[in-house]
Amino acid sequence: MFAKILIANRGEIACRVIRTARRMGVRTVAVYSDADAGALHVEMADEAVHIGPSPVGESYLRGDKIVAAALATGAEAIHPGYGFLSENPDFVDQVTAAGLVFIGPSAASIRAMGLKDAAKRLMEKAGVPVVPGYHGEAQEIVLLASKAREIGYPVLIKARAGGGGKGMRRVEHPDDFSEALSGARREAKAAFGDDRVLVEKYIEKPRHIEVQVFGDIFGNVVHLYERDCSAQRRHQKVIEEAPAPGMTPALRKAMTEAAVKAAKAIDYSGAGTIEFIVDASQGLKADRFWFMEMNTRLQVEHPVTEMVTGTDLVEWQLRVASGEKLPKTQSEITLSGHAFEARIYAEDAARGFLPATGTLHHLKFPDTAPEGASMRIETGVRTGDAISPFYDPMIAKLVVHGKTRPAALEALGIALSQTEIAGSTVNTAFLAALAADADFSAGDVDTGLIGRHQQVLTAVSPPSSEIVAAAALAASGAGAHAPTDDPWSSLAGYAHFHPIARRTRLRYGENEILAHVSVRPEGRFQVALDAPYDSALDLRAAGLARWPGHVTVFSGAVGYSFAVPDPLAKADEIAAGADSLRAPMPGLVKLVRAAKGEAVIKGQPLLILEAMKMEHTISATHDGTIAEIATEGAQVTDGTVLVRFAEEAHG
């Protein structure tokens, strides 16, 4: 076994690897960028090495710096985590050329599966079923459009490199093909440095089911059953589970055998995942699944497999990479119970899942698992940490296990309702709504479920009078939420002739709220609210967090955040109005599609903003004439004016 390893990653996966390595007595070396100097994974590791500025191209994607850090610290092997360089065969070559061990598959195996088109041709030769489509080398738009017509619409354009939904577009009609292809290519180029694509038939009711495989250098390959990852938004996974609901013995046998066959075809060693697309329009059948791609690394959702099989896949990775045989044979790997993983992101579900940033002023996860269940929290952040625009906005993975699917699903809902996060917009309310969705609860899930139910799943009820009153009480500094030396608190319980009152202003979204908080003689508080809210009296304690200029009140999985305006501060003079469009998040102006002086119509795309390697189209909100527009290539922050219209141009 290794004495010391370097982890070429950050965030929750770096922390995850460190925990297992520590349990095994293996020392760890972390690497970090400028933005991560105070990160949790840096604190947890035995040693840490700075590798560059915050942008990934200058730090976490610099294989030369990472290898140099490993050599300088005496590490014997490098664990890549997932993302970044984890599936880069050239990096594997760098590692092995330096005399180090790459904790993962060989460069040859990664190359064999790294490009979706070549991988599918290889799988066809190995007898693994593949989705009907075009996987060739030619990339001329006329050819691709012709192939799309042959396949039959709708089709899916997919980047041949990478994953995570980047460089992917669904196309319903031939007239939309050219525009979708351009967008997919730009996004693929930005994310993977490769703008080539493949075109596949879009399965109308697709299930995304994947099989965890594991191989060693002695030619042994096993599977650890399947995971269902069909709950997706924008082609990115949201809640994963194991085993797949509705799985039949016939399909499980066929799918796991195909997965093992695929891994053996490339002499695979280490952890890997064979992803399949399944046509669920007529139930799960053994002849209705097709190979989609292979992820030659540990998956984000690997904890659900660990929970239902009683394994530690990171331990397996370390053992196999150090030259040991697989810890278990196929017959020794069994399924037990059901597990879910919910990915908690800093994102605004109600605004199309736009990534969010911010400081996590309050971060609290459940202290114990719901009754009858087990739970684990995978995170790489703490209270006070910032969600940076430079990296994926994942905050944590909440993983639960129960004896049955209903029991595990109930535990997931309870755990989400007990999770409190303030300081950034997060998706916990959306996750809770999805877990409670009737179709999802019944196991009737496909990759289009979230899209079909998105309006309901992302809707958040306005705060009740009780929630507003609790926010006003906290904002006023009254009661138990006030500092002990606050004179407002010292007056609680005393009034000579009239109740002591304080006027408090709050802002929720665009709404200004005025509240009057009175201290009653017996030490209780009365909150009087303006219409449309009802006054509230004798409030019970509410879960809440106070942070600079804000109060967040938690109700179930929803966190209602109220701004508390400083009465002495100058009014905000830069609020967005009808005459301007502002950046909804920090990002790069990737493409400008209109010019100063140009007349535009409502809904017309004006520019494309790239944030966290995804493209977001900014469209005109009304007819008008452009007075100013951002410059292509400009790096903007949240709230930056991107487009300004001439004053007389709207109405």
- Provide the annotated active-site residues: 297
What type of residue sits at position 317? Q
CA dist., res. 582 & res. 606, Å (int): 12
Contacts of 478 (CB under 8 A, 6+ apart): 488, 489, 492, 502, 517, 519, 525
Q: Angle at Cα 429 formed by Cα 369 and Cα 466, nearest 5°?
A: 95
User: 141-154 in b/e burial notation, b at 16+ Cβ within 10 A?
Assistant: eeebbebbeebeee
- Count of Cβ atoms closer than 10 Å to residue 83 Cβ: 21
CA dist., res. 438 & res. 620, Å (int): 36
DSSP 540: P
CA dist., res. 30 & res. 37, Å (int): 11
Look up residue 411 and give its two tokens: 């535990």
Contacts of 326 (CB under 8 A, 6+ apart): 214, 215, 216, 220, 222, 316, 320
Work out whether strand 558-563 and strand 362-364 pair parallel, antiparallel, or are unpaired.
unpaired
CA dist., res. 451 & res. 458, Å (int): 11
Look up residue 474 and give its two tokens: 């906290």
CA dist., res. 241 & res. 208, Å (int): 11
Give the torsion through C-alpha atoms of 73, 77, 79, 84, to 10 deg.
Answer: 70
Nearest Cα to 46, choosing from 66, 75, 68?
Answer: 75
Distances (CA, A) of 257 to 67, 130, 212, 226, 313: 37, 15, 12, 12, 20
Cβ atoms of 356 and 426 within 8 Å: the answer is yes
Distances (CA, A) of 240 to 72, 228, 273, 348: 39, 6, 14, 20
CA quadruple 597, 602, 608, 609: dihedral sign: positive
Residue 584 preceded by cis peptide, ω within 30: no
Cβ atoms of 602 and 623 within 8 Å: the answer is yes
Distances (CA, A) of 421 to 303, 362, 558, 622: 22, 5, 9, 35
